[in-house]
Amino acid sequence: MSTYDFDLAVIGSGPAGIVAAVEAGRRGKRVALIERLKDIGGAGINTGTLPSKTLRESALHLSGFSQRGFDGVDFGLRREQITVAQLLARKQRVIENEIALVTEMLQGLQVEIIRGSARFAGAHTLTIDGERRLRADKLLIATGSRPRRPEGFPFEDPDVVDSDTILELERIPDTMTVVGGGVIGCEYASLFACLGVKVTLLESNPKLLGFLDEEVRVLLERRFVEMGIELVFNDDVLRVIDVPGPGVKVETKAGRRFAAGKLLVAAGRSSNTEDLGLETIGLATDKRGRIAVDASFQTSVPGVYAAGDVIGNPALASTGMEQGRLAVCHAFDGTQECVRTETLPYGLYTIPEVAYVGLTEEQCKEKKIEYAVGRARYRENARGLIVGDLEGLLKLVFRPTDKKLLGVHIVGEKATELVHLGQLAMELDGTIETFAQSCFNFPTLTMLYKRAAFDALQQLP
């Protein structure tokens, strides 16, 4: 008879924890899923991924931005006509529905959901709220992350928010200053700009999102400016100036001052590991609380795994899910399969959307990989014209010698959906001929792949 209460104990019910619990449950394992908050789902369902993307869709719909391109016709409400209640109504329904679906799935697999805060009392032992004690053969840390709050920002001021508390807005501000031009900062800056808010985006680097393909990045930056976003580079906040009444004023290191109704601090995220008692099992973290793992997502302590935001980049819901699944595969089967980083899709829910998979032109140059490029522009696509996206771009990076696809980069409508066709082609070692010879529905944005492939073939001798 087993000396363990469970085969697997998962700490945290975000995307990584849920998928790990489901994978183990499917294998017939006894699984405990431990969550300290009232609702399961973590940031992925409750405060991050789903809420912010639902808010984005509501903003696009109510502002009329999604109907752009129809000359002379304004389908949107003015900013003063849009209420926070309208923006947030769908968010709550989406969250409740997702929680119900996930709960039903876990219960169907006999996963025991335990409410409370878990803390290590040994390599195989956890205490829950200092009372209940349970033992598990394998353990997975999937406690996620939270917005990082740098010193010097008065977060007790209701007009100073982070990426969680911004979802608690009581009103849509006239103006907003966003500190940090990373993914979260750019997503919220463009969301509020599409609602008619005057947004200033402060970024300490010389450009936004330097990891993107440069052509795509420049196009996105240009679209931001066209939306009315003021971009301030090579500067950072020196101090927040106390002003009477509502609103926030900041002074930058370069001596400039910016005043706005709301100040959003988007300074990255910190892992939720400080209360787990990791020192009890000799497990260390870095200064942001992140846990180091090997290729199988096992920590330095045998039998203890970690996945999702808690291990750091890329810190996406999608990658966290795959990490959780593979951790379970290794824990119970010894499977050494790793996440194929070269075919991980990335999606940015900015306005417009950006998505990519594989190598950029710049990476090809750095690696001295011979490459060529095929492009298709949304304005040359019938569906692109129908939806009113006249600036979008789909770009294929490929190797001329064998036409193998090396990367796909998209900025425009449905980019985060379209990228998966390129991802699948890469996983199957496809070439640009794959798209040139495929039959796609017309009119669809998918036809962009075909046009880009034809453009690519014209580049060959």
pLDDT at 72 over 70: no
Q: What ranges make up the beta strands (E) of 13-168?
A: 31-35, 112-115, 118-122, 125-128, 132-141, 145-147, 160-161
Would you state the structure tokens that stand for residue 304, as one six-digit string?
Answer: 């203890």
H/E run at residue 7: strand 6-11
Q: How many CB atoms lie within 10 A of CB 73?
A: 8
pLDDT at 67 over 90: no
Least confident of 26-35, 70-79, 235-244: 70-79
Name the band, by pLDDT with cuts 50, 70 and 90, for residue 95: confident
pLDDT of res. 78: 53
Helix (H/G/I), strand (E/B), else coil: 120 = strand
Average pLDDT estimate for 82-96: 73
pLDDT at 73 over 50: no
Would you state the structure tokens that stand for residue 459, as one six-digit string?
Answer: 């580049």
pLDDT of res. 336: 64
Residue corresponding to tokens 């075909």: 450
pLDDT at 125 over 50: yes
Nearest to 321 by CA among 26, 36, 44, 3: 44
CA distances from 293 to 8, 290, 304, 306, 334 (A): 18, 10, 10, 7, 15
For 35-41, the CB contacts below 8 A with 24+ separation are 35/113, 35/114, 35/115, 36/115, 36/116, 36/117, 36/118, 39/95, 39/99, 40/13, 40/99, 40/102, 40/103, 40/106, 40/113, 41/13, 41/14, 41/95, 41/98, 41/99, 41/102
Nearest to 311 by CA among 328, 325, 326, 323: 323
Q: Is 0.85 topped by the overall pTM?
A: yes
Name the band, by pLDDT with cuts 50, 70 and 90, for residue 343: confident
Name the band, by pLDDT with cuts 50, 70 and 90, for residue 66: low
Average pLDDT estimate for 358-373: 96
Domains, the chain, ordered by start = 6-147+270-339 (3.50.50.60), 160-267 (3.50.50.60), 343-458 (3.30.390.30)
Name the band, by pLDDT with cuts 50, 70 and 90, for residue 68: low
Q: What is the pLDDT of residues 169-181, one digit of tens each?
A: 878 899 999 999 9
Least confident of 47-51, 388-392, 437-441: 47-51
Average pLDDT estimate for 247-262: 95
Residue corresponding to tokens 């405990």: 32
Helix (H/G/I), strand (E/B), else coil: 98 = helix
Cα–Cα distance for residue pair 285/275, rounded to 1 Å:
12
CA distances from 425 to 78, 396, 431, 438, 455 (A): 43, 12, 7, 12, 18
pLDDT of res. 77: 47
Q: What is the mean pLDDT of the chain?
A: 90
